[in-house]
Amino acid sequence: MKIIQFEWKKLWKSKAFIAFLLITVAIVAALFTRNYFYQDIVKSKKVESFQEQSSNVIATVNTDRKTLEEIGEGVDPTLEENIELGLSLYQKLQELLAAVDADEDLSALQLENDAYELAMQYISMQEGFRYPLTELEMQDEIKLNEELLQKELPKEDLHASIQPAVFMKQVVQLLFNTFGFFILVVIIGTPIVKEFDDRTIKLSYGLPISSRRLVLSKWLSMVLSGTTWFGLIMLTTYAISTVFGKEIANPFEYPLYTEQMTFMTSGEYVTQSIIYGLFYLIVLMSFFIFLSFLLKNTLVVHIVLLILFVINFMMTSNGLIHFALPWSYQELDQTVLLRENASWIGAILSLVLTGVLLLFAVLSSKRREYR
């Protein structure tokens, strides 16, 4: 226990780790501030989108009216039906714009669904008409809006929200990824692997403890530091968005689309992010410890780690990602959104892989080189 405390205190004396904690907390605060002042822009963009849809519709209706004036009424019943449907859609979009402008969130959701239903009918009847949204996009929006209406929640911009649950998702996506995890493991791992460079590892090897305890103490100190950073970010995100964010009932019921186009609640998303994130930290720290005792050189360890991180990033970016593979958790947001329900297979594999890596680290620990 004392050796773990020693390693823990040694890491916390590192200015780099303290600076990293403060910088990431500042990033969270800055992101929330940006989102807070961005709310009017989000609303204006929404208004612009519906205005564009409305302008496209009325332009087509006016063109059809001119055609009808030229050929006369009763000649082309389909054209007259198109004009009537187009006017209905235009009117519905005007009602939607009024609801958005008045911040009537739930009314706007229902009106948006009604408008998209009319728009899909209009597209099917009006040849050559180009609507700003595809039919598939409108169907997805309708499905999301229905889920939101059922939960009585307003729609949020996933990239600029001050709603606690949605903001937490944005932070997970921003910080708990390839870049964030790489910087973390380099900062908290460097004091450990650097002992091999300056040969202060001899002090640890001179203690009356087994190689197993030595490896485990260094691994546990890294895990504790990593989970401290992870927990601090999650708590800061929740605290800031709860105190200064949007006050609504049941924010963690907000629905999120998965890769399978099913819904998971934001509460499930946050829970799975914490679980997967912690298991990834356990594996990542054991892998770093293994590399440190195997290669015994700071620069070489960092280069190998960087190469592996880049390769894994390229694989996940190309869709080679699976919820059961621990290294997929490097891109935490993508992994969580793969499916609606969490899988414990990945957790079991993480523990097995951690045990194997720590075993190899113990085997790679050669005391005689430092005596």
Work out the end-to-end distance of the chain between its first and last CA atoms, rounded to an integer number of angstroms.
24
- Give domain status of residue 333, yes or no: yes
Q: Using the 3D structure, point to which of 124, 151, 178 is the last residue of a domain.
A: 151
- pLDDT given for residue 368 in this prediction: 46
Is the residue at 156 inside a domain? no
What DSSP letter does each residue of 78-95 carry, written as one string?
Answer: HHHHHHHHHHHHHHHHHH
Q: How far apart are CA 176 and CA 168, in angstroms?
A: 11
Query: Are 221 and 330 in a shared domain?
Result: yes
Q: Is pLDDT of 205 > 70?
A: no
Q: Which of 151, 176, 195 delimits the end of a domain?
A: 151
Summarize the confidence of residues 146-164 as an average pLDDT: 94
- Structure-token match 């989000």, residue found: 42
Q: Which residue has the higher pLDDT, 194 or 115?
A: 115
Average pLDDT score over the chain? 87
Q: Structurally, how many domains does the chain consist of?
A: 2
Query: What is the distance, to the nearest Å, from the Cα of residue 94 to the centroid of all Cα atoms in its chain?
Result: 34
pLDDT for 64: 79
Q: Are residues 251 and 333 in the same domain?
A: yes
Q: Does residue 7 belong to any structural domain of this protein? A: yes
Single out the residue in 151, 179, 207 at which a domain terminates.
151
| Domain span including residue 104 | 46-151
- 338 CB-near residues (< 8 Å, 6+ apart): 258, 259, 260, 321, 322, 323
The pLDDT of residue 149 is: 95
Do 186 and 265 reside in the same domain of the chain? Answer: yes
Question: Is 75 found in the same domain as 180?
Answer: no
Reduced to 3 states (helix: H, G, I; strand: E, B; else coil), residue 351 is helix
> Does residue 264 lie within any of the structural domains?
yes
What are the pLDDT digits (tens) for 300-329? 999 999 999 999 898 888 877 766 677 888
Q: How confident is the model at residue 43, as a pLDDT?
A: 92
Note whether 316 and 249 are same-domain residues: yes
Question: Binning pLDDT at 50, 70 and 90, where does residue 213 land?
Answer: confident
pLDDT score recorded for residue 204: 64
The predicted-structure confidence for 215-248, as pLDDT tens digits, reads as follows 888 899 899 999 999 999 999 999 999 999 888 8
Query: Is 276 found in the same domain as 172?
Result: yes
Is 0.75 topped by the overall pTM? yes
